[in-house]
Structure 1
């Protein structure tokens, strides 16, 4: 039904007649007087003052600090509190009220209150109020158990399965027990899932807020919003946090952590030294758009990027890491923020994890750093840097002019397309020729230890004589080297070798 009298976005003075009318104040601090008739008065936004006059009137409570000057239950007046999802009974309403000089004041939040002039709590009965008995629906059309205001709300759930909508404001929502759904809404929110399999998201309209989402125990699904969010698989340190979590950063420069967070200084802000990465659940994390940082746990994690220049830290476990677009940094080992700046420096990386990972850079110029385990590292497109660290690693440069270093261990190195530089490092390494065009340099081929595999080259090599017939000694910055034409616009340069020093036993044909 259209209102008979409608206010504006300013501070209005609206006066009715003796007829039955609906009067809506709109935005602003409005003064509404209905006079006679059975009227409906709705202050809406702002701090409004409502006077029903004669008749059985209905007052619809909105946002702000409202005052009703002549509420009279005996005359048939009713206050509609349907907009307050947390007030579903007369008892719940009374718990928010207090007698003051000249009237009763119900305080619902810092930004929402209702004053009834000339009355005390003892004057009120349930007949004078309509409550939100049916609850509102969330974004999936399900029943809502708590709906916040446009202010800063603080809500704790129960052991039941509950749905909470924070709405605007800087809210603190804690699902505690149960399989909960929690939407932060607009504002800088802190949302904690607690125990149970929870679903946490920014909700609609959250485009400029920077939020903290922590899943807690259980298998959680966490979705960031449009801005720079922090997503944590676990909750506070008093929960084990073990679960199979899924986290999606969304837009913005996000920080996704599979470990647990203990708010030691009680500021409700995440400091790097408050995070414990020893959680062992298997987590799935995708950064989305923006320059994201994703930190895995000691479990078997899947970390994926998107647009932007992302940082991936696998920590323990058999991790699968995919860089996607942007110039990404992929690290299989663990990270300690020794500088205390919340930024990843390479000298803070420890490769001591002995469990192998699968990490692939994607598009862009990526840096991929393995662990002391048996890793599989890929550069894909771009001019990439691959470093195997310890373990028997497989390293694939992909397209671009790549720098591939196996580190310690018996590694297998593929340059791929482009002009690549290959370093085997310690151990008995295998350098594999490919059919992809490019001129590769092997910087540290050790005679009698390392192996050159020519079986997949474009040119058909059958014997050492075939190799020597397609090789020549060259000078590279004053150092002798053996250049082998492997056919199809490809070549391999072995630094330090000559036609006389190459050994047949080191070659696979």
Structure 2
């Protein structure tokens, strides 16, 4: 593109397209294309093929469309949608919204307070830095909160949720879910733990015998070495047994 607001279209082959200055919209075409958005608020549509799509300095919109794409939001408040196919998406520096679409996707919020949604397929979601919101949606998904105070929602089927650092809120929703914890994690809250269906996963040498399980009001608190590891909302401590835990 030039210095204005341009519409760029790729050929059926494998193209390299650059938005440059102005608010551009770039359509990559049917080949395996490489597209860089430019310095302003741009839109990028991957089209057919396995594409590499990158935002730049502005608040960009990236759409992977069909096949297996790699998408980078970079700077700016970006909207990223993988579309069909098994995609990998990186939010970048600011507060981004990422949707995987159909397929088995890997989605990383990176810096900022991001909203990351897997949608259909078996997806892996990382919040990384910031206070993020992660939705697994349909499929057996894996969700990692990262740093900050995050909200993780598994969605349909059986998911694995790990809040990681920070004080996180975890909701498994439908299916038998696993909530993983280790020493040094923040103090998390599970909103819908179901005895006999869900599992608390103990990782990196954490054992059931090392846990302190107590009733506090209507909730159960599980601690380690005098610190609070997780609160199970609406769960009676006397219903829990070693069968509700697993070494993973």
Indicate the residue corresponding to 1:301 in structure 2. 87
After TM superposition, give the deviation of residue 483 of structure 1 in Å.
Answer: 3.1
**Once the 2 structures are TM-superposed, how far is the Cα of residue 213 of structure 1 from its aligned partner?**
0.9
Instruction: Check whether the contact 1:252–1:290 (CA below 8 A) recurs between aligned residues.
Output: yes
Partner SS, residue 196 of structure 1: coil
Q: From 150, 170, 176, give the equivalent of 1:404.
A: 170
Q: What displacement does 1:454 show? A: 5.1
How far did residue 356 of structure 1 move?
0.7
Q: Does 1:317 align with 2:103?
A: yes
Distance (Å, rounded) in 2 between the aligned partners of 1:453 and 1:298: 32
* Structure possessing the higher radius of gyration over alpha carbons: 1
Q: CA deviation at 1:232?
A: 0.9
Q: Which of the residues 142, 147, 159 maps onto 1:393? A: 159
Counterpart of 1:474 (choices 216, 221, 240) is 216
Q: From the superposition, tell whether residues 190 and 455 of structure 1 become closer, same or farther in structure 2 (CA, over 3 Å).
A: closer
Change (3 A) 1:500 1:361: closer
d(CA) in 1 for partners of 2:142 and 2:200? 19
1:248 and 2:61 aligned: no
Distance 1:455 1:214, change over 3 A: closer
Superposition pairs for residues 80-119 of structure 1, below 5 Å?
none
Give the Cα–Cα distance (whole angstroms) in 2 for the partners of residues 314 and 499 of structure 1.
38
Q: 1:411 to 1:191 in 2, by over 3 A?
A: same
**What's the counterpart of residue 137 of structure 2?**
371
The residue aligned with 1:282 is 68
The equivalent residue for 2:184 is: 436
Distance 1:300 1:390 in 2: 19
Aligned CA distance change for structure 1 residues 367 and 481 (closer, same or farther; 3 Å): closer
Q: Which residue of 2 aligns with 1:25?
A: none
- Does residue 189 (structure 1) correspond to residue 6 (structure 2)? The answer is yes
For residue 218 of structure 1, the aligned residue among 12, 26, 31 is 31
- How many angstroms does 1:450 deviate by? 3.4
What do the CA deviations read for 1:404-427 (whole angstroms, capped 9, x no partner)?
A: 11121221113xxxxxxxxxxxxx
- 1:137-194 CA distances to partner (integer Å, 9 max, x unpaired)? xxxxxxxxxxxxxxxxxxxxxxxxxxxxxxxxxxxxxxxxxxxxxxx12111111112
Cα RMSD, aligned residues only: 2.4
Q: Which residue of structure 2 aligns with residue 230 of structure 1?
A: 43
User: Could you tell me how far 1:367 is from its partner in structure 2?
Assistant: 1.1
Q: After superposition, where does 1:321-340 map in structure 2 within 5 Å?
A: 321-333=107-119
TM-score, normalised via structure 2 length: 0.89
Distance in 2 (CA, whole Å) between partners of 1:243 and 1:254 is 21
SS of alignment partner, residue 399 of structure 1: coil
Find out whether 1:483 has 2:231 as its counterpart: no
Match for residue 257 of structure 1 among 63, 68, 84: 63
Aligned length: 247
Where structure 2 has 5 or more consecutive residues not aligned to the other structure, the ranges are none
Output the CA distance in 2 between the equivalents of 1:409 and 1:193.
44
Call closer, same or farther: CA 1:481–1:304 in 2, change over 3 Å. Answer: closer
Distance verdict in 2 for CA 1:408–1:328, change over 3 Å: same
Residue 46 of structure 1: aligned partner? none
Partner of 1:436, secondary structure, is: coil
Structure 2 vs 1, CA of residues 254 and 382 (structure 1 numbering), >3 Å: closer, same or farther? same
CA contact (8 A) 1:289 1:306 kept: yes
CA distance in 1, matches of 2:157, 2:150: 20
> Residue 292 of structure 1: CA displacement?
0.7
Higher RCO (Cα < 8 Å, 6 or more apart): 2
Q: 1:453, CA displacement in angstroms?
A: 4.4
**Contact preservation (8 Å) 1:437, 1:490:** no
Structure 1 residues without counterparts, runs of 5 or longer: 1-183, 235-241, 260-278, 334-352, 415-432
Q: CA deviation at 1:495?
A: 3.8
Q: Distance in 1 between matches of 2:240 and 2:107?
A: 38
